[in-house]
Structure 1
């Protein structure tokens, strides 16, 4: 807590002032979190002072949207780095939202445990954003975006959190996910200059080579880069008491059809939704369960025993494949290849079709989706999906 307050004061985030008569004063509270490493061990205990942004009035605070990197972009960056044999590095911005400038006049209460003696009735006027404010994400993104543009980076037109800097034959690519940065390039000196400038401008944590990002385990080798979510899979099996379940070889029963009203008894919706949500997060590195998970997500409003049994079957499949992930092999012949396919009137409930696609760069797939179409189609055409493009292999991290 003291470290958080020191960071806020060092950043000149607020100033003590008299309580305004015509302005709303927003409350603050402490949030505590334990950050873990990829192996589940404790990395550090963290205290964060946040504003009670939910008390801000709607319609007054409008500049709140801030983009984050898509997982497709992050995987594409990994695929590019693997193909070109580049190293990927990672940095974390300490108290990132405290770096964002705000234009509005905003007041917050003094934090519990750190109330100034003799000034108990005074409040704090914010000069910069504070975690919890609706403006905070937008303010931080505006600040970091300006930083990159001022230093000669080009922002991607299709991905506003991807920045590219070129100097002759040298290239530096940076991807931003809120306060986490991953960066790669073909010139180590250029990378080092960028890192030093970032650490000089912001309070940064240098995490070295990228090895754990958004719950994804990354293993960088000379032959390529392997990504998986083995630890998360083990946690998922433990959470739903499936660590000793019988293993199956497919996520779904081949040819099985599912519908909203199947005649079986209804089950606890909250547990089912928790399971499906966890599986959707796992699809970040497991395209092999994408179709099954998206299919079963259609029944989250009123799941039945049949739906829940099908979802638990995915867990049984995962127990036998928990070391699986995606291998991006280093190669001199990297081609961008896409496949698409669709069933026809596959949904029993409304006769709508389900479409899917995959894209690979070099040896590894980096983008995929499975989605039910919005309208009923009479005729469908498309190329078949070549399953080998997924390039799924067993982990050698064990």
Structure 2
């Protein structure tokens, strides 16, 4: 089998953000285009309909319940929280869609990473928290990453840890973010550590 005929390299989002930051700094023109051959000449169809897919179609009600943060600051989730279980397939689909959105909305990276820990056996509490993230996104559609020329173009990193906040196993969640010039190069990669 000739793997080189069907191989299609895909750029990492970190690389794309770094190139955009560099282009903004150097004042280069940037053009976007899609290459259908990257998907083996298949039909490209966008799907971003999460609100209707997960029965949040009443935008009046959704607008009424908009939130300013993607997650409650002091909320702790348990694997076995004693709450009625929900459909894991639907929950995985919702979290998977949110993971995709983190490419353009890195401000939701922490809650999405946290909620992805419960994909095997989610409860209604976990499902409600994911819907809160959708309500946050709906109320902040104009948010994004802005790249522009700056005088002090340098790489800066930030890191943080919450020190044993996981209620199930007392592990810590740590994360980091890198900025390059005006925009983020890598956003908030979270992981459990012991």
Greater relative contact order (Cα < 8 A, sep 6+): 2
Counterpart check, 1:239 vs 2:53 = yes
Pick from 278, 291, 296 the counterpart of residue 97 of structure 2: 278
User: Shift in Å at residue 371 of structure 1?
Assistant: 2.5
The answer to whether the 8 A contact 2:86-2:123 is kept is yes
Counterpart for residue 16 of structure 2 = 74
Structure whose alpha-carbon radius of gyration is higher: 1
Counterpart for residue 322 of structure 1 = 141
TM norm structure 2: 0.84
The answer to whether the 8 A contact 1:272-1:300 is kept is yes
Counterpart for residue 25 of structure 2 = 83
Counterpart for residue 152 of structure 2 = 333
Pairs aligned (count) = 184
**Residue 95 to residue 345, structure 1, CA distance change in 2 (3 Å):** closer
Structure with more of its chain in helix, by fraction: 2
Counterpart for residue 177 of structure 1 = none
Structure with more of its chain in strand, by fraction: 1
Pick from 166, 175, 183 the counterpart of residue 364 of structure 1: 183
Counterpart check, 1:257 vs 2:76 = yes
Please give the alpha-carbon distance, in whole angstroms, between the structure 2 residues aligned to 1:365 and 1:325: 11
Task: For structure 2, list consecutive stretches of 5 or more residues without a partner in the other structure.
Answer: none
Please give the alpha-carbon distance, in whole angstroms, between the structure 1 residues aligned to 2:38 and 2:93: 30
**Residue 320 to residue 94, structure 1, CA distance change in 2 (3 Å):** closer
Counterpart for residue 355 of structure 1 = 174
Please give the alpha-carbon distance, in whole angstroms, between the structure 1 residues aligned to 2:128 and 2:82: 14
User: Shift in Å at residue 368 of structure 1?
Assistant: 1.5
